[in-house]
Structure 1
């Protein structure tokens, strides 16, 4: 169960057998069915989840109830509300499973214990946060500098393994357009 996560961690830091054992002991395995919430607006996020299997999405709702999808997380990705988790404040986002999922979760108290007992994990999490911030910055830049068609093509190129796993209306909300507009974009693309 831990092999996939251990390989992911090993790309950033090297751990002893004892450090790995401690890390494993602080994690909770969880199976979650499709279309279940891991987090809802107003709740304090008390987990960071590493996906072993399945797909989740993180999103916000505006005042009219329109979704803005921040990310899709699949195998070998982490999902959480970083701000709510780090500051232990209520979240303004939702995290929902798109498929049946299996995941390993670490709660806030266990993560703090991990940082105290294995300080090199601070480097691991810092590198994950840096990568996430870089992805968000590129995504923000694309949202203000690219057309919907360019954003859709970039999404399909960067995440071909996700395109077949999530509904088109959710991809539309990820790239920042209505499902109807994405349908027009796709129709025009296929005509070319």
Structure 2
């Protein structure tokens, strides 16, 4: 498994096919210290993922001073993962019923559900504690 596959697998659960498809979209580029990834005036037609080290995005002002506008590091992946996770939660809250959200939570985190206070779980799932209690009671009665 290549470096990006190993790294991404630490944070995102992908099937082997998804991982292959994902990694095939990348090619490794090694940049030495103080080397430009993108030259001034060049239009970047690729996206880059930093596995090790950091890149600095900057512009040069009228007086010739560098103005750093961003840093790209491997920590960016964590931020992107968090954003993707929040988007999935929002979509889930908009498209799934409360019982469906509860069932999906049980499937994904079966070991956590008994350790959480009901009010915290209900809040996370976007429902009242009373409604969560009704969902749980219905599940018990069905068994």
TM-score (norm 1): 0.37
Structure of greater relative contact order (alpha carbons < 8 Å, 6+ residues apart): 1
Larger Rg: 1 or 2? Answer: 2
* The structure with more strand, counted as a fraction of residues: 1
